[in-house]
Amino acid sequence: MSKIHVTTTVNGDPTEFLCEPQETLLDVLRDELQLTGSKEGCASGDCGACSIELDGRLVCSCLVLGAEADGREIETVESIADGEKLHPVQAQILEHGALQCGFCTPGIIVAAKALLDRNPDPTDTEIRYWLAGNLCRCTGYDKIINAVQDAAADLRGEAS
Amino acid sequence: MRYEVADTVESAASLLAGEAGQSYVLAGGTDLLVQLRAGLVQPDLVVDVKRIDELRTISEADGGYTVGAAVAGAELGEHASIGNVWPGVVEGAELIGSTQVQGRASMGGNLCNASPAADSVPALIAAGATCTIVGPNGKREAAVADIPTGPGQNSLEKGEVLVSLHFPARPANSSDAYLRMIPRTEMDIAIVGAAVNLTLDDDGTCTAATVVLGAVAPTAIEVPEAGAALVGTKVDDAALEAVSAAASAAARPISDKRGTAEYRTKVVGVMAKRAAKIAYDRAANKGGK
Amino acid sequence: MTYEPKDLKVVGTRPVRPDGVDKVTGRANFGADHALPGQLVGKVLRSPYAHARIVSIDTSKAEALAGVKSIIVGEDMQDIAHELSQSGESAIDVHDLSLNVLARGKVLYDGHALAAVAATSAKIADDAIALIDVTYDVLPHVVDVDDAMKPDAPVLHDDMFTKGLEETPTTASNIASRMEMAMGDVEEGFKHADVIIERSYKTKAVHQGYIEPHAVVASFGEDGSAYVWCSSQGHFAVRDLSAKVLGMDSSSIRVIPAEIGGGFGGKTTVYLEPLAIALSKRAGRPVKMTMTRAEVFRATGPTPATSMDVKIGATKDGKIVAADCEFRFHAGAFAGSPVGAACMAGLTPYALENARVVGYDVVSNTCKSGAYRAPGAPNGAFSVESAMDELATELKMDPIELRHINAAEEGTKAIYGPTFKQIGCKDVLVATREHPHYKSNLGPNQGRGIASGFWFNVGGQSNAAINVHEDGTITVVEGSPDIGGTRAAMAMMAAEVLGIDYDRVQVVVADTASIGHTDGTGGSRVTFATGMAVTNAAEDVVTQLRTRAAATMGVDVDDVVWQDGAAIATKGDAGSLSLAEIAATAARTGGIIVGRSSINAKGAGPSFATHICDVEVDPETGYIEILRYTSIQDVGKAIHPSYVEGQMQGGAVQGIGWALNEEYFYNEDGILENPGFLDYRMPVASDLPKIDTVMVEVPNPSHPFGVRGVGEAPLVPPLAAVVNAIEDATGVRMTELPVTPVKMLAALDARKEAAE
């Protein structure tokens, strides 16, 4: 077995790592790069807890090989806040109490931000369908939808 | 397992052909990585084809479209015009998995993975789409319908790469639709699926129709009787019932953890008639084009 | 401590939780987020058969693989006698637990662990697992609970002789025990019934579905002690159960609680932890183990599949005269299903003179069942509340009216013994009847169902310490893993008692060596019992603050009151001293101030809930859509309303999933066919409408802030609420869960054919 040398950009930082051919990007982020914010819930693309953006596209990192990151740009939950300043999605999730155990929360935040980057004024239905790939077992999704709506309003510059 | 990146179609084909053991094309990876993790496949080589332009672009010429085999569902959905011309094809592709899966999954992969319940396949067949395939013996064309040969089996030879899918120019007043039945609203494999592609003349009478069913046979199946039941009609209730009956009659499903054979047989008829109605309404609203 | 209504400044508001920023930035460390230098990766070999004798295990090829550092098999574990250990909400037999952790002699379910390996990488560990040679003698198996009770069923344990019968049988069977509770005379009662509903119901096993798989890092040191990092609802239980299974002293194991990604009762026991400790001991290095999603489904603790018979009789004016139930629950491979709790809870929303519940705990070749949010009660309520719905229809009575006529209230004696103090059962029913949802209109193919439910909530042991720092800020140290925002509730109650800002309070969930024993986070107990301990500790601090202030101000301590965060002299002009001022001089006035409380909390207030559910059923496909849902519950006093609403919403959605789509699907070989989120179908965001909540606040008289547990009751009513709504929409009574579109359409078609 020989490892593959990968050169990539993670959260804006030039990054290099070695990985086995069959290792997923999720494995690499967590075990090689110690970016444990992205979570493994299923390793089969069904729960969204491992959500990241790859070249600006929302994907499950458990469905990407580490080797495929070469030359690409990866953004994980760790890049969403600007230092101490939380992104409106993060702040509204806290305001609304839209997390209980918090395990699905990083994936939800990455996915919700990806939605609002594209669609600044989504309906509740659009939010729900966009987030269908992010399983939450604790909240019943209700407060998450409300939080995303208020974050969208914040980003549009409106009072929420 | 080895991982190689191919820069051209020819180099992809030659890498795949040159591997003595099991070799796989890696496009979106949304089926391959799941199977890899579950131990269902043990590749000796995966060839990443996502750097090859022809597999990643959508182009239009004379009203027809060429879609690279590794174009992601999300990219297909974002294209300016293909969704207007082939809404059924695009909606089938966009039903595969979650938003995250959509960021990667491709029609080429969905077709070659050859699940009997594949969501993009019925509409591709109904559209009369063709494929360009490149292999050790050069380039060839094939009908989409000829690619899946059984559950998880496709007709590509070792070393062949599916490069792109072609959609013919549409006659005026044409449209398509794909519907599937799943127990939730998202994230499920289709219990049954049905695609309808049809053309109307200027007074709204159907002049051509193709009905293709998914998840009721080892591969997607075209049902000529169902298509025939639409031709010459204005897709009224009687025609829709005839479509439903023909679809149910043609279905030969299994019972599994997702549904019983009885359920699939019945509901595929329901999906076929509802898809026919949607395709008709879409085509009728278009007017001369 | 009893409840006293007072003006509250912090309790009842909605501040951001103290651990919130870590959780939204990915910084919070869950079970799998921890790593120790030099750690190995541990993996488990699991049975591919539902029932088999282990003839031999040969690990020699695995041992020879480079990078493999330790292997354990069942024979390496010690034999333990049957002994009940209290853990989470239910007692666990340590002998059975040990066999579940690592099989000996027989494997009893698809996924049963029988060996574990630690190696220098995950890949090598997986390769080593594949190199372990096991010879099995495959045995016939049984999955269904009614089949498992038949005399010709394959028997799992040849030492299982049904307990609780008048005569202990001499032949082994799969029926672990029978229990019965009764009041009055049901036979006599039924004679007075004008209407009797008698019906049977079945449910399938369902999983708690927490998104975080089990994970542990264990390090066994040369001094014979183990450090264990894991996510668990009860790290004290992890310590004590691991100690018993491994034959170690509890004092030799220190368990650090990671953040926990959901539990719902499923993480109140041990699976990987003893294995990781044992592997680490053999290898001399730390071992990290995580479960895959398939392992979580195959080999942790889903809730039982059940088969239930319910008979309820009433007079024509709606008074229930008798209720008789038999509940048969399968506990999986070892005894101990929550059938007892189902017996205690199913009929409890009603004041009954004549009632009887019989429960059977039955083993079968499926993984050992575990606790799932009000364990047993959702099943019991499904059958009872479905029967009540039919009864209301027969009596031509509004279903809320029927329940209200018979509702339990203060003074009602429950079938399991206690007499209720102040409870919210009727208040909840009234709030349901008056809710706009209940009066709104329905369209074609649409229907509405309501259902009620009860859960005891428990108290139990909690320890808390409050450290007052020199700068006047405080740290609350407690031992309850924070699954749903309880750190916030603890901070709020401490801030309220001390009269300081919420922001001046930090909360730490301490490890097993750093705080006194605290029962697990479950049983809806944390805000109640740990909250009570925190409140007591805060009161202890207040007493000390007043004493110090009195000395400093030169007055008698009885002349000092604590108000708005300051000690105020009630006589003369000695003035006042704030907490910060007193803390600043504490070292000189007697030493740093620490408040403590160690309690076994009594007086947990029970919860009552009623849910309203609207559905639409597609008559051509059987697809069921939830159109509208309202959850109404007596929540005692909502310390942090957002988190109480969250419990109500989350439980309702779990119930919707259980009612419509979730089930363990076994094939004819007893193999689980859907051990993944693709085909184990939990609700996704697009499946659901908003879940409206109404918090009815009837304070619990036994808690200083009136707290009742709220976490579990939300899962009790939804199953019947959904099924009753389906009946209203279609006229078809579904008695088996889940009601998938496939089953719904089959039932609709059968009814159509019967009508023709």
Residues in B closer than 8 angstroms to A21, CB to CB, are 1-3, 46
**How many residue contacts between A and C have a Cβ separation below 8 Å?**
183
In the sheet with C560-563, reading across from the earlier edge strand, the strands are C560-563, C566-569, C576-578
8 Å CB contact of A97 and C212: no
Q: Are A22 and A83 in contact (CB under 8 A)?
A: no
Cα C153 from Cα B121, distance rounded (Å)? 46
Q: What residue of C is the nearest CA neighbor of A84?
A: C21
Residues in A closer than 8 angstroms to B38, CB to CB, are 44
Element (H, E) at C744: helix C741-755
Residues C414 and C451 in one domain: yes
Residue C224 lies in domain: 34-139+212-261+267-299
8 Å CB contact of C620 and B188: no
CA distances from C592 to A140, C467, C583 (A): 44, 8, 8
φ/ψ of residue C117, rounded to 5: -130, 140
φ/ψ of residue C751, rounded to 5: -70, -35
Residues C442 and C466 in one domain: no
- What would be the CATH architecture of the domain defined by A4-79? Roll (3.10)
pLDDT value at position C222? 82
Domain boundary (C550, C570, C601) is at: C601
Catalytic residues of C: 712
| Position C552 in a domain | yes
Over residues C598-632, the pLDDT tens digits come to 999 998 889 999 999 999 999 999 999 999 999 99
| Position C2 in a domain | no
CA distance A85 to chain C (A): 10
8 Å CB contact of C293 and A44: yes
**Which of C673, C741, C745 is nearest residue B257 as measured by Cβ atoms?**
C673
Q: Are C280 and C261 in contact (CB under 8 A)?
A: no
Which is nearest to C127 in space by CA: B39, B229, A41, A106? Answer: B39
**Which of A4, A21, A60 is nearest residue B100 as measured by Cβ atoms?**
A60
Contacting partners of chain B (3+ CB pairs under 8 A): A, C
Number of domains in chain C: 3
Q: Are C609 and C698 in contact (CB under 8 A)?
A: no
Overall average pLDDT of the B37-61 stretch:
96
Is residue B287's pLDDT more than 60?
A: no
Topology match between the domains A4-79 and A88-155: no
Is residue B60's pLDDT more than 50?
A: yes
Residues C394 and C495 in one domain: no
Q: Where along chain A do its domains lie? A: 4-79, 88-155
Is residue B70's pLDDT more than 50?
A: yes
Would you state the structure tokens that stand for residue C267, as one six-digit string? 């993480």
Mutate to test the interface with A, among B7, B30, B100, B185 (most CBs of A within 10 A): B100
Over residues A98-148, the pLDDT tens digits come to 999 999 999 999 999 999 999 999 999 999 999 999 999 999 999 999 999
Residues in C closer than 8 angstroms to B266, CB to CB, are 745, 749
Domain boundary (C601, C617, C652) is at: C601
| Position C103 in a domain | yes
Q: What residue of A is the nearest CA neighbor of C487?
A: A100
**How many residue contacts between B and C have a Cβ separation below 8 Å?**
55
CA distance B51 to chain A (A): 10
C541's CB contacts (< 8 A; 6+ apart) are C466, C468, C474, C497, C498, C593, C594, C595
CATH topology of domain A88-155: DNA polymerase; domain 1 (1.10.150)
Kindly indicate the confidence band of residue A2, based on its pLDDT and cuts at 50, 70 and 90.
confident
CA distance B35 to chain C (A): 13
pLDDT under 70 in chain C at which residues?
1, 87-90
| Position C164 in a domain | no
pLDDT value at position C283? 97
Residues in A closer than 8 angstroms to C678, CB to CB, are 44, 46
pLDDT value at position C555? 93
**Which of C673, C740, C745 is nearest residue B266 as measured by Cβ atoms?**
C745
| Position C417 in a domain | yes
pLDDT value at position C88? 56
Could you tell me which residues are beta bridge partners of residue B175?
A: B198
- Chain B interface with A: residues with Cβ < 8 Å: 1-3, 5, 26, 28-30, 33-34, 36-38, 46, 48, 50, 72, 74, 97-101, 103-104, 185-187
8 Å CB contact of B186 and A132: yes
C680's CB contacts (< 8 A; 6+ apart) are C207, C209, C297, C662, C663, C664, C674
**Which of B184, B263, B266 is nearest residue C681 as measured by Cβ atoms?**
B184
Residues C121 and C224 in one domain: yes
pLDDT value at position C5? 87
φ/ψ of residue B267, rounded to 5: -75, -25
Residues C572 and C620 in one domain: no
C60's CB contacts (< 8 A; 6+ apart) are none
For residue C383, the domain's CATH number is 3.30.365.10
Q: Are C303 and C369 in contact (CB under 8 A)?
A: yes
Cα C137 from Cα C144, distance rounded (Å)? 22
**Which of C661, C665, C746 is nearest residue B184 as measured by Cβ atoms?**
C661
| Owner of token pair 């959605």 | C653
pLDDT value at position C635? 95
**Which of C261, C677, C691 is nearest residue A46 as measured by Cβ atoms?**
C677
| Position C583 in a domain | yes
Cα C284 from Cα C224, distance rounded (Å)? 11
Over residues B148-165, the pLDDT tens digits come to 999 999 999 999 999 999
Q: Are C700 and C593 in contact (CB under 8 A)?
A: no
pLDDT value at position C6? 87
B259 contact C CB<8A: yes
CA distance A134 to chain B (A): 8
Which is nearest to C320 in space by CA: C449, C416, C195? Answer: C195
CA distance B147 to chain A (A): 24
pLDDT value at position B289? 31
8 Å CB contact of C17 and A131: no
Alpha helices in C132-203 (DSSP H): 145-149, 186-191
Contacting partners of chain C (3+ CB pairs under 8 A): A, B
8 Å CB contact of A130 and B99: yes
**Which of C16, C262, C640 is nearest residue A138 as measured by Cβ atoms?**
C262
Residues C223 and C85 in one domain: yes
8 Å CB contact of B257 and C674: yes
C660 contact B CB<8A: yes
Q: Which of residues 679-698 of C touch B (CB under 8 A)?
A: 679, 681, 683-684, 686-687
Cα A105 from Cα A117, distance rounded (Å)? 18
Residues in C closer than 8 angstroms to B184, CB to CB, are 661, 681, 683-684, 686-687
Residues C510 and C620 in one domain: no
CA distance C675 to chain A (A): 10
CA distance B101 to chain A (A): 6
Kindly indicate the confidence band of residue B286, based on its pLDDT and cuts at 50, 70 and 90.
low
In the sheet with C106-107, reading across from the earlier edge strand, the strands are C106-107, C52-58, C133-138
C754 contact B CB<8A: no
C419 in helix, strand or coil?
strand
CA distance C521 to chain A (A): 12
DSSP line for B240-267: HHHHHHHHHHH--PPPBTTB-HHHHHHH
pLDDT value at position C756? 81
pTM over 0.95: yes
B2-167 domain in CATH 3.30.465.10? yes
- Number of Cβ within 10 Å of residue B170's Cβ equals 20
**Which of C646, C653, C677 is nearest residue A47 as measured by Cβ atoms?**
C677
Is residue B288's pLDDT more than 50?
A: no
Q: Are A76 and A11 in contact (CB under 8 A)?
A: yes
Place domain B174-284 in its CATH homologous superfamily: CO dehydrogenase flavoprotein, C-terminal domain (3.30.390.50)
Q: Could you give the ipTM of this predicted complex? A: 0.98
C36's CB contacts (< 8 A; 6+ apart) are C217, C219, C286, C288
Residues in A closer than 8 angstroms to C28, CB to CB, are 102
Residues C432 and C465 in one domain: no
Residues C329 and C279 in one domain: no
**Which of A41, A98, A129 is nearest residue C211 as measured by Cβ atoms?**
A41
pLDDT value at position C523? 87
HEC-encoded secondary structure of C140-156: CCCCCHHHHHCCCCCCC
Length of chain C: 756
pLDDT value at position C22? 96
A24's CB contacts (< 8 A; 6+ apart) are A43, A61, A62, A63, A64, A65, A66, B33, B37
Which is nearest to C382 in space by CA: C201, C211, C182, C188? Answer: C201
| Position C205 in a domain | no
| Owner of token pair 């779990």 | C654
Residues C243 and C341 in one domain: no
C516's CB contacts (< 8 A; 6+ apart) are C463, C479, C598
Cα B204 from Cα C239, distance rounded (Å)? 74
Contacting partners of chain A (3+ CB pairs under 8 A): B, C
- Number of Cβ within 10 Å of residue C199's Cβ equals 15
Residues C497 and C438 in one domain: no
Residues in B closer than 8 angstroms to A62, CB to CB, are 33, 37
Q: Are C33 and A36 in contact (CB under 8 A)?
A: yes
CA distance A90 to chain B (A): 20
Residues in B closer than 8 angstroms to A64, CB to CB, are 29, 33, 104
Which is nearest to A57 in space by CA: B53, B51, B163, B78? Answer: B78
Angle between helices B261-284 and B237-250 (to 10 degrees): 140
| Position C145 in a domain | no
Mutate to test the interface with B, among A1, A8, A22 (most CBs of B within 10 A): A22
pLDDT value at position A1? 60
C475 contact B CB<8A: no
Which is nearest to B78 in space by CA: B99, B62, B97? Answer: B99
φ/ψ of residue B89, rounded to 5: -60, -50
Residues C532 and C442 in one domain: no
